[in-house]
Amino acid sequence: MENQNLDALTDRVADLIINAKRIVVFTGAGVSTESGIPDFRSPGGIWDRFDPNDFTYQKFISDPKSRRKQWQLLQEGSLTTEAKPNLAHYAIADLDRLGKLDCVITQNIDNLHQKAGVPDNKVFELHGNMQWIVCLSCGRRYPSDQIKARLDKGEEIPDCEACHGMLKPDVVLFGEPLPVKVLDEATSRSCSSDLFIVVGSTLVVYPAAYMPIYATNSGAKLVIINLSPTPMDEKATVLIRAKAGEITPRIIKRVKEKLAVN
């Protein structure tokens, strides 16, 4: 673990960014919570109010009570349209504007990287996106706002307008495999990166947490920015214990200073 002060660590990460050719940024819940989105696992988080056992794919398919709880979570709105990007999201988008970002691989389902300005084709959402609802029968997709409006009018378990099939938020539930194409592409990008930056993830949810392992095994340097320890800390070239929204803008500011970019 690094014992240098924050300015020195910031400077070192800025140098790594400037010298890198293929930067992958990997984000977790620690980025979303700074936008007011509740964490799932932390005290006071979503699993303190909902039983995670009700959020398995099998239960969603078979149990109307479980589906009703899922739609209740959507109706609350905190995972969808009300949240706004924070300084960390904008700093990562700045990395793209500087021409330094290969892609973002995220565990988050909130669409905030795109809202901050990272192009859709550079965001790989391992756990899906709460902004969309999909019909399991015909495959039609609906914006979550459209379904939320129906919930607000009193519907408890909305169905597909086209075929009356079962609707499901386009996110990965427990017991459901990750989307294959997204996982394959994220794995490939991780393996070919030369700098892998983890922001706001404890790296304990698999298979997402394999991504930094793939990167370091392929020779990439690793930066970890997270408040709590992770299993990859000893592999990190630079380790910073700080909030994402506090340190990432400082890093980007330092990069711009070194590159003489406004």
- Tell me the three-class secondary structure of 19-81, residue by residue: HCCCEEEEECHHHHHHHCCCCCCCCCCHHHHCCHHHHEHHHHHHCHHHHHHHHHHHHHCCCCC
Of 14 and 131, the structure prediction assigns the larger pLDDT to: 14
With 60 as the cut, is the pLDDT of residue 122 above it? yes
CATH 3.40.50.1220, applies to 1-37+85-127+178-262: yes
Among residues 194, 188, 212, 256, the alpha carbon closest in space to that of 23 is found at: 194
Tell me the average pLDDT across 152-173: 93
Three-class SS state of 241: coil
Average pLDDT over residues 112-120: 96
pTM of the predicted model, to two decimals?
0.89
* Choice among 89, 113, 127, 164 that is catalytic: 127
Instruction: Report the pLDDT value the prediction gives residue 1, as an integer from 0 to 100.
Output: 39
- Does residue 164 carry a pLDDT above 90? yes
Q: pLDDT, tens digit, for every residue of 194-234?
A: 999 999 999 998 999 999 999 999 999 999 999 999 999 99
Mean pLDDT, range 89-111, rounded to an integer: 96
CA dist 75 and 144 (Å) reads 9
What is the phi-psi region of residue 229: left when phi exceeds 0, alpha when psi lies from -120 to 50, beta otherwise?
A: beta
Where in the chain is CATH 3.30.1600.10? Answer: 39-82+130-171
Q: Which CATH number applies to 39-82+130-171?
A: 3.30.1600.10
Segment 8-19 shows an average pLDDT of 97
- Who wins on pLDDT, 83 or 154? 154
Assess whether 164 carries a catalytic annotation: no
Range(s) of the chain covered by CATH 3.40.50.1220: 1-37+85-127+178-262
pLDDT-wise least confident of 28-42, 151-165, 179-193: 28-42
The confidence score (pLDDT) of residue 100 equals 97
Give the residue, 258 or 174, on which the prediction is more confident.
258
